[in-house]
């Protein structure tokens, strides 16, 4: 029995790319260039640190993101990271994590291609993922979002041994049918997920919800927490 198709690695000038060959038959550096006429790129209006675009191609609709720093580090270098090897690049690491999760049927964007360009001891990076149609952030839909559905998506992620480095109200999306999607796995990783690690992820989401909705969002998070606890009890995690 054949397993899932493995991504292919190809050379780029000063770097390399990793691509889902089942979705992209003629890969090239153009996949990561928002100025390419082939992609018909449109800048994402919110988020992305002005470095994300909606694109389209033979792969369908996609989201192209160039990795950029935030906070104080951005003053030193907006888009360069310390080189520690290809596997550790932000783009390849996130691609591989998404590939693992998508292969397990988790509600995450399908990774299409990743790239890095090395410059001495530093590198730049980019990632192309499939676009999820008709979604909006949890932050804007608390009034109608299903606590149990959100708890279920987070629980499934944790049960697959995945830590989300920035689980917040904008990295949880809901589509028109109410299905929950999890995005932005930059700096996420596969690891053991004991109770303390699960709780830390949930508390990060709690802080985000309080920033978005103030104390009125607290009751929503408490209902989510209760739904998550029920899943733990049902599966023997507590």
| Residue 189: CATH number of its domain | 1.10.510.10
Asked if residue 183 belongs to a domain, the reply is yes
Q: Which of the listed residues 130, 145, 167 is the one where a domain comes to its end?
A: 130
Quick one: 121 and 45 in the same domain?
yes
In a domain? residue 69 = yes
Q: Which of 78, 76, 57 is nearest to 66 (CA)?
A: 78
Q: Which residues contact 233 (CB under 8 A, 6 or more apart)?
A: none
> What is the Cα–Cα distance from 15 to 129, expressed in whole angstroms?
19
Domain match, 18 and 107 both: yes
For residues 104 and 161, state if they share a domain.
no
The pLDDT score that the predictor gives to residue 70 is: 64
Q: Within a domain: residue 80?
A: yes
Q: Are residues 225 and 141 in the same domain?
A: yes
Same domain, 141 and 90: no
Averaged over 100-117, what is the pLDDT? 98
Q: Say if residue 107 is in the same domain as residue 143.
A: no
Q: Do 143 and 126 share a structural domain?
A: no
Mean pLDDT of 9-36: 96
Same domain, 19 and 58: yes
pLDDT digits 0-9 by tens, 182-227:
999 999 999 999 999 999 999 999 999 999 988 889 999 999 999 9
* Residue-level pLDDT at 50: 66
Tell me how many domains the chain contains: 2
In sequence order, what are the residues at sequence separation of 6 or more whose Cβ sits closer than 8 angstroms to the Cβ of residue 117? 12, 13, 14, 15, 123, 124, 125
Q: What's the pLDDT score for residue 74? A: 45
Contacts of 126 (CB under 8 A, 6+ apart): 32, 64, 65, 66, 67, 91, 114, 115, 116
Decide if 3 is inside a domain. Answer: no
Do 126 and 143 share a structural domain? no
Do 85 and 102 lie in one domain? The reply is yes
C-alpha 85: how far from chain center = 21
Q: Is residue 107 very low, low, confident or very high in pLDDT (cuts 50, 70, 90)?
A: very high
Answer yes or no: do 26 and 68 share one domain.
Answer: yes
Judge whether 1 lies within some domain.
Answer: no
Q: Is the pLDDT of residue 3 over 60?
A: no
Average pLDDT estimate for 17-21: 97
Domain that holds residue 65: 8-130
Task: Provide the annotated active-site residues.
Answer: 166
Residue 2 located in a structural domain:
no
- For the stretch 133-191, pLDDT in tens is 999 999 999 989 999 999 999 999 999 999 999 999 999 999 999 999 999 999 999 99
The answer on pLDDT for 110 being more than 60 is yes
Domain match, 184 and 123 both: no
Phi–psi pair at 86, nearest 5 degrees: -60, -45
């Amino acid at each position: 029995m054949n397993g899932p198709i493995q991504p292919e690695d190809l050379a780029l000038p000063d770097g390399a790319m990793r691509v889902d060959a089942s979705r992209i038959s003629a890969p090239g550096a153009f996949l990561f260039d928002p100025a390419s006429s082939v992609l018909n790129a449109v800048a994402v209006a919110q988020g992305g640190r002005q470095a994300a675009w909606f694109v389209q191609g033979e792969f369908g609709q996609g989201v192209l993101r160039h990795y950029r720093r935030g906070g104080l580090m951005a003053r030193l270098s907006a888009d360069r990271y310390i080189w520690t090897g290809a596997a550790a690049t932000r783009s390849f690491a996130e691609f591989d994590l998404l590939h693992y999760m998508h292969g397990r049927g988790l509600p995450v964007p399908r990774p299409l291609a990743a790239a890095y360009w090395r410059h001495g001891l530093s590198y730049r990076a980019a990632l192309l993922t499939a676009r999820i149609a008709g979604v909006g952030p949890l932050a804007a839909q608390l009034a109608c979002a299903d606590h149990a559905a959100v708890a279920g998506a987070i629980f499934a992620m944790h049960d697959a041994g995945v830590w989300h480095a920035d689980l917040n109200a904008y990295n949880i999306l809901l589509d028109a049918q109410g299905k929950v999607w999890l995005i932005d796995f930059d700096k996420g990783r596969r690891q053991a997920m004991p109770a303390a690690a699960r709780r830390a992820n949930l508390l990060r989401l709690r802080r985000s919800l309080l920033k978005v909705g103030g104390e009125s969002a607290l009751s929503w998070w408490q209902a989510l927490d209760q739904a998550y606890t029920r899943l733990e009890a049902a599966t023997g995690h507590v």
